[in-house]
Amino acid sequence: MSQVADTVEATAETGEEFDGLRLRGVTKDFATFTAVDDLDLDVPRGSFFALLGPSGCGKTTTLRMVAGLETPTSGTITLAGQDITHDRPYRRPVNTVFQSYALFPHLDVFENVAFGLRRRRQRDVKGPVNEMLELVELTSQARKKPAQLSGGQQQRVALARALINKPEVLLLDEPLGALDLKLRRAMQLELKRIQTEVGLTFVHVTHDQEEAMTMADTVAVMNKGVIEQLGAPDQLYENPESTFVANFLGQSNLIEGRVRSRAADVVTVDMHGIDVSVPAARAHADGELGWVGIRPEKVLIGDEGEALDAPGNTIPGGVVTDVSFYGVSTQYLVRMPWGQELQVFEQNTGRRRLFRHGDRVELSWRPEYAFLLDHHQDASAGAQQGAEE
Partner 1 sequence: MSETVRRRGRVGYLLLLPALLWLGVFFVIPFYSLMATSLYDPGGSDFRGYRMAWAWGNYSEVVHAYWPELVRSLVYGAVATLLCLVLGYVLAYAIAFKAGRWKNLMLVLVVAPFFTSFLIRTLSWKLILADDGFVVNTLQAAHLLGADGRLLATPVAVIAGLTYNFLPYMVLPLYASLDKIDHLLIEASGDLYANPFVGFFKVTWPLSLPGVVSGTLLTFIPAAGDFINVKLLGSPNQRMIGNVIESQFTDANNYPAAAALSVVLMAIIVAIVLVYVRRAGTEELL
Pick from 175, 164, 172, 157: which is nearest to 116 by CA?
164
Q: Residue 94 interacts with partner 1 (CB under 8 A)?
A: yes
Task: Report DSSP state, residue 212.
Answer: H
Answer yes or no whether residue 338 interacts with partner 1 by CB under 8 A. no
Binding residue count for partner 1, defined by CB under 8 A:
22
Residues 6+ apart with CB under 8 A from 163: 95, 132, 135, 170, 194, 198, 200
Q: In whole angstroms, what is the distance from residue 66 CA to residue 171 CA?
A: 8
Residues 6+ apart with CB under 8 A from 123: none
CB of 126 to partner 1, least distance (A): 18
Check residue 140 and give left, alpha or beta (phi > 0: left; psi -120 to 50: alpha).
alpha
Residue 137 C-beta: closest distance to partner 1, Å: 22
Q: Does 119 bind partner 1 (CB under 8 A)?
A: yes
Q: In b/e form, how buried is each residue of 176-191, taking b as 16+ CB within 10 angstroms? A: beebeeebbeebbebb
- For partner 1, which stretch binds (CB under 8 A), given 116-124, 255-263, 272-280, 344-352? 116-124
**Is 105 a binder of partner 1 (CB under 8 A)?**
yes
Least distance CB 331 / partner 1 (angstroms): 41
Q: Which of 161, 295, 298, 375 binds partner 1 (CB under 8 A)?
A: 161
What is the greatest pairwise CA distance in the chain? Answer: 77
Verify binding: residue 88, partner 1, rule CB under 8 A: yes
* Residue (35 or 245) nearer to partner 1, CB: 35
Q: Are 370 and 284 in contact (CB under 8 A)?
A: no
The stretch among 79-87, 99-107, 194-202, 353-361 that binds partner 1 (CB under 8 A) is 99-107
Q: Is 116 in the site for partner 1 (CB under 8 A)?
A: yes
C-alpha span between 75 and 124 (Å, rounded): 39
Task: Report the C-alpha gap between 37 and 32 in whole angstroms.
Answer: 14
Contacts of partner 1 in 120-149 (CB under 8 A): 120
Q: How far is the CB of 224 from partner 1 (least distance, A)?
A: 26
On whether the CB atoms of residues 105 and 95 are closer than 8 A, the answer is: no
In the complex with partner 1, the residue whose CB is nearer, 119 or 193, is: 119
- Nearest distance in Å: CB 175, partner 1: 13
Range in contact with partner 1 (rule: CB under 8 A) among 67-75, 131-139, 200-208, 359-367: 67-75
Which of 8, 10, 69, 226 binds partner 1 (CB under 8 A)? It is 69
Note the Cα 42 to chain centre separation in Å: 15
86 forms part of the interface with partner 1 (CB under 8 A): no
x/- string (CB under 8 A) for partner 1, residues 162-201? Answer: x--x------------------------------------
Kind and range of the H or E run holding 5: helix 2-14
Candidates 74, 100, 380, 384; binder of partner 1 (CB under 8 A) is 100
Q: Which residues have CB under 8 Å from 337's CB, separation 6+?
A: 272, 317, 318
State yes or no: residue 57 binds partner 1 (CB under 8 A). Answer: no
Residue 56 burial (CB count, 10 A) = 15
Distance (Å, whole) CA 118 – CA 225: 37
Query: Cβ 134 to partner 1, closest distance in Å?
Result: 20
CA 279, 282, 285, 290: dihedral to nearest 10 degrees? -70
Q: Please, what is the minimum distance in Å from the beta carbon of residue 281 to partner 1?
A: 42
The nearest distance, CB 363 to partner 1, in angstroms, is 51
- Where in 278-297 is the site for partner 1 (CB under 8 A)? none
Residues in contact with partner 1 by CB under 8 A are 67-69, 88-90, 94-96, 98, 100, 102, 104-106, 115-116, 119-120, 161-162, 165
